[in-house]
Amino acid sequence: MTTVPRVLPTGLLLALGLAPRLARADAVAFVHETSVYVDAKGSSLKAPEGVACAPNGYVVVADTGNHRLLTFTFKEGRVSGGDELKLKELVSPVRLQIDGKGNVLALDAKTRRIVRLTATGGYGGPVETKGLEGDAPVVGAFKLDANDNLYLLDVVGRRVLVLDPTDAVSWQVAFPKDAGTVTDIAVDTGGTLYAIDAVGARLWSADKGTKAFRPLGPSLKDRVAFPTYVAANGGRLFLVDTNGQGIALLGADGSFQGRQLAFGWGDGLVNYPGQLCFAPGGIAFLADRNNNRVQAFTTGAK
Amino acid sequence: MARFRTGWLLIGAVLASGAASADRAFKQKDCLTCHSKFAAKYDSARYAHSAVKDRKCDDCHLRHGIVPALVLKKQGNGLCLSCHERKALGLDKPNVHAAVRAGPCIKCHDPHGSKAEHLLKAEGPEVCYACHRREAYEKKNVHKALASSGCGACHVAHAADAKQLLKGDGPKLCTGCHPANGRLSKAHGEYPVADVRCTLCHDPHSSDSAKLLRASVHPAMEGGVCDSCHADKKAAQPYLLTDKLDKLCLGCHDAAALTSAGPVEHPPFKKGDCTACHDPHTGKGDKLTRVAGNGLCLTCHRAKGDPVGRPHPAVTTGAGCRSCHLPHTGKKSLLAAAPEEVCARCHGKLREGQLKRKVVHPPFEMGDCATCHDPHGSNFPGMMPGRLDQVCFGCHADKESEFLKAHTHKPVQDGLCNACHEGHASDNPKLLKATGALLCEKCHADLMKGAGSGSTHPPFADGKCLGCHDPHGSNTAGMLLSDQKTVCAKCHAKAVKAATSGKSVHSAFAAGDCSKCHSPHKAGLKTLLLAQPPDLCFSCHKDLKARLASEPNHPPVEGCLSCHKPHGSAEPKLWTEPIASLCGQCHDTADKSFRAAHLGIDPKDIRCIRCHDPHSSKDAKLFKRLVHPPFEARDCGTCHGVAKPSPFKLLPGAEGKICLDCHLQLEDLVAKPFTHTPVRAKLCVGCHNPHTSRYDKLLNAEAGALCLGCHPAVVPSPALSTHKPVADKNCLACHDPHGTANKFTLVKAGRDLCAGCHEAVAGPAAKAKYKHRPLEEGGCVACHTPHGSAKAPFLLKADVPALCAGCHKTDKPFFAKQHSKYPVEKSRCTSCHDPHGSDRRALLANTVHPPVAKGLCPQCHEPPTSATPLKTKSQPPKLCRACHAQLLNAMADRSRLHRPVAEGNCMACHSPHAAKEKGLLRAGLGTVCGGCHADTLNRQQASPTKHKPVAEGKCTACHDPHGADGPLALVKPTAMETCAACHDVLKHMSHPMGEKVADPRNRNLSMQCLSCHRAHGTEYKHMLPFATSTDLCVKCHAQFKR
């Protein structure tokens, strides 16, 4: 993809045959596909904050306001199912991930701990870090990589802990000293770790195995308001700008590539968006918290 | 008389109008006044809902007032069930019609009226066909009961005791019409079938076979020899099999023929469970299969039946699954042959042709088609099992992370590896579809068509695209191999060196933005220029373009390169040569008129651009925007002498004095006690150009920049803090440029000057009971530097406590006593004391933490005699919990904690010792909250309508600063209740609001305050999210959209 300096007038671009390449720069576009409003029994979702997608079309929603999880299947542009998973150990689910075996990991906002649910929906126990000295982490966010390594954002320890599939700590990276409030982390297929500071609107990255974050570009304060979630997908980073009501697209080098979505109540618009996940075929699911729904978008993102 | 009559008429009219207005005030309109079309439609219906007949619209609907909206008294089926009791409808029975259970009643019924009985939407089976496929009910022979009485002949509509909503159980339902008499017995070979489920052999709806039998019939049954498998018809148990099932079947069907196809056996066949697939009596498909076509296989292999966007024709047409698989035994996966042979049956020619090419994809060569294709179909092009690139990355795993770059080639980004690579075989290396530029041409044909009419970049002309670009992606724009400067310098190193060694370098060139001026491929101009100067130059130099458009131009400006070099120059401003000789190219300096116009000054001594603008000017002689009047009047002699040897020098002793001859108002300023150095030196030209200038007041440069010319060190570098007027280069905010009665030519003296901006500090300080002596005696600059500080924040001359220790002797016993013997000499004094003044003794801040006020420092800190006396006994929140346990426990019980609370960072908002604000807040709420939530406060500042609590910094009016059970930490359970704490929602407006009023834009929302307003403001009035209220209203009331 090629970008052309903005200073060139459009007419000149057309004359040079560069306009088509400019158009390609905006290849990712969120187009509303469908919305999930109810569970299998027809009960409404309430303030959902989390959503996780699996490659087989399995989608799990954290129906936070109703203190439960819902499981759906996405196929052929349609979402079906909506069976309820309710556990007393999971009062306020806010972030979700699905591992390679189909187990669901859910972060409880009240206990600040992660609990596992087996692929059949049974309680699989909490995630207990092994080999960590000192206080247990207070988890603010988490992610899984392709090898089911678990990345925990420890808000009190101001660090990211990486647990292997046996929950043993295999790597940890301290927050940068000048990072404000780190609200989320992401890990790409190459193992690079990203962290987003919502207050400073800055992205940080740490190559696999390194012990320190480095800034990924300048502050995005003039582009985003208060980003609380970051997802890495297809060589891009997607910042969910919760207070700014939209999604910011960034290159892997932190370069700003545009914004998608806007505030509103109807389908395709968002009101305090939460977690974002990507299903096969470039379909993105977004927990649309204050609209009490989860929305699916075709994105063109691969 | 006439007047008398008129009076009575007036009284009558007034009375009449009063009665009419009373009538208007209380008479409620009937629904049909507006909904007359509705009435006409349903009055003519054969069956009408009783409420419609009786005009009792209010039975179901709420009146909507002037805002048209469908508002029902109850949502969903609850409305119908309020009159139609569940029991009466049979909904207490175990089997409920799915349409009733999951769908609304109005799926089948019209709630107002219908031409069909029971207000059904259609007559007869048509209403059922809305969900049930009609083909199954309209075959050649239709069950008479269905044909004559419809579905209701056997089924009930809402719920039943029997499954499938049947009116009776099993055969009893059938024997109601087909009695168990001799005729029935004879038709079934005298076997006692009256208690046997009839649907075992018969289709109860319709069939293409006679007697409603299913599609295929077992010959034994057709021949009436039931006892070939079953016991005798007169036996006690006539339906007992005479042998084991598999033996019975193999008694007729040749086992060797069934097992000859291969070593792999179909599990049901292996177990001898023939009836898993075949029905021993009749089959819905051929060969007595229980289900017709692929449906039989899908009963077990359900996942294979999922609908897909790219089905395999072999599966969906003809023999279906049996196109490739055998039902009893076969090769691997029960295939009829080896996989490559099975595929080759249809795709043989493709395989044969591709294998002849030079490079063959290994999986294809090995015949392992299923590596890349799903033989049962998929949702991806080419029946790939996943998106193409994911399939490729399955083997080429290392490439996935290698290709993840900020600027990725579109086909790579779209996962279309096959845009460049062949999937099966190719005659080119790496399975490429073509080599070199020929490959790129497939997409970039327009770009690559022909050479440029003016110039073509040699690598581009030679088709060496990969000389500059990475074919998959890179982190540099344009997918370049590295940054543009490096890529271009690979070939143009000499030019780069030459251009960067002079006095000036073009900023675009220095930044390596070569493509800002040059096309990397081809151009219609020489040297690959994107456009001709000046258009090319104007793409960056927009200010100059605007100026040139608004005033007459200096003719050479059309050709920028006649005066400037494009990359770098040994002269300033990229000039092609020294300015005098550059101008001399066109202007004959030896000419008499030139010499006369320039007072005979030697051209070598003239710096032309001192008076003339080289690009444009409204003046015919290209003088700059402002011209000094004597200069304009060519009254040079007033200031300059005319005698040799320096006719352009000022008259002896004339500096400064000459200016005051005209600028009389400056005399007072110049006479002030404190004057600016150039003024004192009578050097007006230090700041002003005596001839022409582009800047106001004939200044030599922009005001702030001009000051920095002489005072470059006014702000230390690096500075820890800089005064805002200094940062804004607004020196004149504090200083007069000529002179004042105040030192440093300040416009006001001492604290008065600072108070102009810092009233919030100066005001309370002036009223404070206890004042800080340095402030009283030395003013603000006793502690602060006015421009910038390299040592401390807040422009402090030194950081605290060093600054304080300058006056307060920290080594004296008194100091230790005052601080409970704690060694605080290196602590931050301002964490307890207000340096500007306070109403408390010792300048303690107005709010003091009780342990501090009582001198109970050891309550939190280790004893003063300890080796680490200032260390706290523990860290927050544990430390704070000792006193604030109840508060902290209450916080911990909340589902959502404010992030600093979750981190246990109480000090993020609170000061541990003393503070000006209540609650020991470090600053006002607006400042404390705004530290993190600046975006929210900025939104409010930009809003034309201010929300009072936000504007006043009372964030806690709506939000609990520690946490809550909801996501926005609201102080009330819902947003509407939060608003209602200040606003009387019921009196707000007549628009329906509340939990029971659905938001038409979103079925999961009800109408509430935030349906129309945003709490922290918007760029529009009334905190609306749209420019006008009409724009907002039509989002729901679309019928009024214009």
Give the range among B215-229, B894-908, B955-969 with minimum mean pLDDT: B215-229
Other CB atoms within 10 A of residue B942 CB? 10
Query: What is the per-residue pLDDT for B849?
Result: 94
Please give the angle made by the CA atoms of B766, B771 and B777, to the nearest 5 degrees.
Answer: 85
Q: Using a CB-CB distance cutoff of 8 angstroms, which residues of chain B are in contact with residue A7?
A: 516, 539-540
User: Is B485 an 8 Å CB contact of chain A?
Assistant: no
Contact B327, B278 (CB under 8 A): no
User: Is B454 an 8 Å CB contact of chain A?
Assistant: no
Query: What is the per-residue pLDDT for B69?
Result: 64
User: Which two tokens mark B274?
Assistant: 């023939």
Q: B1002 to chain A: nearest residue by CA?
A: A266
Please give the angle made by the CA atoms of A295, A299 and A300, to the nearest 5 degrees.
Answer: 160
User: Which two tokens mark B426?
Assistant: 């190719």
Q: Which of B762, B803, B764, B805 is nearest to B780 (CA)?
A: B762
For B870, the 3-state DSSP assignment is coil
Best interface-test mutation with B: which of A8, A36, A237, A289 has the largest number of B CBs within 10 A? A8
- Measured N-to-C along each axis, helices B925-932 and B934-941 cross at an angle, to the nearest 10 degrees, of 120
Give the range among A38-52, B592-606, B756-770 with minimum mean pLDDT: B592-606
Cα distance between residue B237 and residue B196, in whole Å: 13
**Residue B6 pLDDT class (50, 70, 90 cuts):** very low
Q: Is the pLDDT of residue B647 over 70?
A: no
Cα distance between residue A295 and residue A275, in whole Å: 11
CB contact under 8 A, B1025 and A64: no
Q: Is the pLDDT of residue B425 over 90?
A: yes
CB contact under 8 A, A3 and B933: no
Selected residue with higher pLDDT from A15 and B36: B36
Contact B858, B848 (CB under 8 A): no
Q: Which residue has the tokens 């299998």?
A: A40
Half-sphere exposure of B815 (CA within 13 A, CB side): 14
Half-sphere exposure of A6 (CA within 13 A, CB side): 1
Cα distance between residue B489 and residue B497, in whole Å: 9
Q: φ and ψ at A130, to 5 degrees? A: -110, 145
Q: Which of B204, B224, B229 is nearest to B214 (CA)?
A: B204
Q: Which of B389, B390, B428, B394 is nearest to B410 (CA)?
A: B389
Query: What is the per-residue pLDDT for B645?
Result: 52
Contact B720, B793 (CB under 8 A): yes
Cα distance between residue A108 and residue B860, in whole Å: 33
Q: Which of A80, A96, A85 is nearest to A38 (CA)?
A: A80
Least Cα separation, residue B910 to chain A (angstroms): 17
Count of H helices and E strands in chain B?
51, 30
User: Which two tokens mark B24?
Assistant: 């208007």
Least Cα separation, residue A119 to chain B (angstroms): 18
CB contact under 8 A, A17 and B447: yes
Task: Show which of residues 1004-1023 on chain B sit within 8 Å of chain A, judged by CB atoms.
Answer: 1004-1005, 1010-1011
Exposed/middle/buried for residue B876 (C-beta within 10 Å: 0-12, 13-18, 19+): buried
Mean pLDDT of the region B337-354: 91
CB contact under 8 A, B935 and A226: yes
Amino acid at B165: L
For B811, the 3-state DSSP assignment is coil
Query: What is the per-residue pLDDT for A24?
Result: 34
Task: Show which of residues 129-158 on chain A sit within 8 Å of chain B, judged by CB atoms.
Answer: 138, 140, 155-156, 158
Cα distance between residue A56 and residue A100, in whole Å: 11
Q: How do strand A123-126 and strand B159-160 relate by DSSP bridges?
A: unpaired
Least Cα separation, residue B90 to chain A (angstroms): 21
CB contact under 8 A, A75 and B306: yes
Least Cα separation, residue B489 to chain A (angstroms): 19
CB contact under 8 A, A291 and B899: no
ipTM: 0.86
Domain ranges of chain B: 44-196, 924-1040
Tens-digit pLDDT profile for residues B431-467: 999 988 899 988 998 888 877 788 999 999 988 999 9
Q: Identify the H or E element spanning B569.
A: strand B568-569
CB contact under 8 A, A7 and B516: yes
Best interface-test mutation with A: which of B392, B413, B482, B521 has the largest number of A CBs within 10 A? B413
**Residue B12 pLDDT class (50, 70, 90 cuts):** very low
Give the range among A101-115, B68-82, B736-750 with minimum mean pLDDT: B68-82
Cα distance between residue B550 and residue B541, in whole Å: 15
Query: What is the per-residue pLDDT for A180?
Result: 87
Angstrom distances, CA of residue B704 to CA of B609, B725, B785, B935: 21, 10, 19, 31
Q: Is the pLDDT of residue B845 over 70?
A: yes
* DSSP secondary structure code for residue B626 in this structure: E
Percent helix, strand, coil in chain A, to 5, is: 5, 45, 45
DSSP B671-721: TSSEE-HHHHTT-GGGTB-SSEESSGGGBSS-HHHHHHHH-GGGS-SS-SE
Contact A270, A291 (CB under 8 A): yes
Give the range among A62-76, B210-224, B631-645, B999-1013 with minimum mean pLDDT: B631-645
CB contact under 8 A, A243 and B936: yes
**What letters, b where the CB count within 10 A reaches 16 and e where it falls short, cover B884-908?**
eeeebeebeebbbbbbbbbbbbbeb
Mean pLDDT of the region B42-50: 86
CB contact under 8 A, A17 and B446: yes
Q: Is the pLDDT of residue B832 over 60?
A: yes
Q: φ and ψ at B696, to 5 degrees? A: -55, 150
For B275, the 3-state DSSP assignment is helix
CB contact under 8 A, B894 and A110: yes
User: Is B187 an 8 Å CB contact of chain A?
Assistant: no
Q: Using a CB-CB distance cutoff of 8 angstroms, which residues of chain A are in contact with residue B894?
A: 110
User: Which two tokens mark B403?
Assistant: 């290709």
Q: Which residue has the tokens 């009016």?
A: B957
**What letters, b where the CB count within 10 A reaches 16 and e where it falls short, cover B1003-1035?**
ebbbbbbbbbbbbbbbebeebbbeeeeeebbeb
Contact B940, B1016 (CB under 8 A): yes
User: Which two tokens mark B638?
Assistant: 């007033």
Cα distance between residue B482 and residue B476, in whole Å: 6
Other CB atoms within 10 A of residue B341 CB? 13
CB contact under 8 A, B475 and A280: no
Q: B404 to chain A: nearest residue by CA?
A: A235
Best interface-test mutation with B: which of A12, A14, A16 has the largest number of B CBs within 10 A? A16
Q: Which residue has the tokens 């925007």?
A: B625
Least Cα separation, residue A133 to chain B (angstroms): 18
Q: φ and ψ at A204, to 5 degrees? A: -130, 150
Q: Where do the domains of chain A lie, and which CATH numbers do they carry?
A: 27-298 (2.120.10.30)
Please give the angle made by the CA atoms of A76, A78 and A83, to the nearest 5 degrees.
Answer: 125
CB contact under 8 A, A2 and B477: yes
Q: Which residues of chain A have pLDDT under 50?
A: 1-26
Cα torsion angle, B168, B171, B177, B181, sign? negative
Least Cα separation, residue A76 to chain B (angstroms): 7
CB contact under 8 A, B1001 and A243: no
Q: Which of B724, B726, B721, B691 is nearest to B707 (CA)?
A: B726
For B513, the 3-state DSSP assignment is coil
Cα distance between residue B803 and residue B785, in whole Å: 12
Q: Using a CB-CB distance cutoff of 8 angstroms, which residues of chain A are in contact with residue B399?
A: none
Query: What radius of gyration, in Å, describes the C-alpha atoms of chain A?
Result: 19
Q: φ and ψ at B575, to 5 degrees? A: -65, 145
Cα distance between residue B850 and residue B860, in whole Å: 12
Exposed/middle/buried for residue B967 (C-beta within 10 Å: 0-12, 13-18, 19+): buried
CB contact under 8 A, B404 and A235: yes
User: Is B878 an 8 Å CB contact of chain A?
Assistant: no
Mean pLDDT of the region B530-541: 92
Q: Residue B264, Cα to own-chain centre: how many angstroms?
A: 54
Least Cα separation, residue B375 to chain A (angstroms): 18
Tens-digit pLDDT profile for residues B545-574: 998 999 999 988 888 999 999 999 999 899
Count of H helices and E strands in chain A?
2, 24
Q: Measured over all CA atoms, what is the biggest interatomic distance in chain B, rounded to whole angstroms? A: 152
Nearest Cβ partner for A293 among B413, B531, B1004: B1004
**Residue B73 pLDDT class (50, 70, 90 cuts):** confident
Least Cα separation, residue A173 to chain B (angstroms): 17
Q: Which of B230, B244, B301 is nearest to B274 (CA)?
A: B244
Nearest Cβ partner for A302 among B379, B387, B933: B387
Task: Show which of residues 38-97 on chain A sit within 8 Å of chain B, judged by CB atoms.
Answer: 42, 44-47, 49, 55, 64, 75-76, 91-92
Angstrom distances, CA of residue B15 to CA of A4, B25, B649, B1025: 79, 15, 99, 48
Cα distance between residue B237 and residue A40, in whole Å: 46
DSSP B724-774: HHHHTT-GGGTB-SSEESSGGGBSS-HHHHHHTT-HHHHHHHHH-SB--HH
Q: Residue B99, Cα to own-chain centre: how many angstroms?
A: 39
Exposed/middle/buried for residue B273 (C-beta within 10 Å: 0-12, 13-18, 19+): middle
Q: Is the pLDDT of residue B25 over 50?
A: no
Nearest Cβ partner for A292 among B523, B896, B1005: B1005
Task: Show which of residues 408-427 on chain B sit within 8 Å of chain A, judged by CB atoms.
Answer: 408-410, 413-415
User: Which two tokens mark B713?
Assistant: 């060190």
Cα distance between residue B435 and residue B415, in whole Å: 20
**Residue B40 pLDDT class (50, 70, 90 cuts):** confident
Query: What radius of gyration, in Å, describes the C-alpha atoms of chain B?
Result: 48
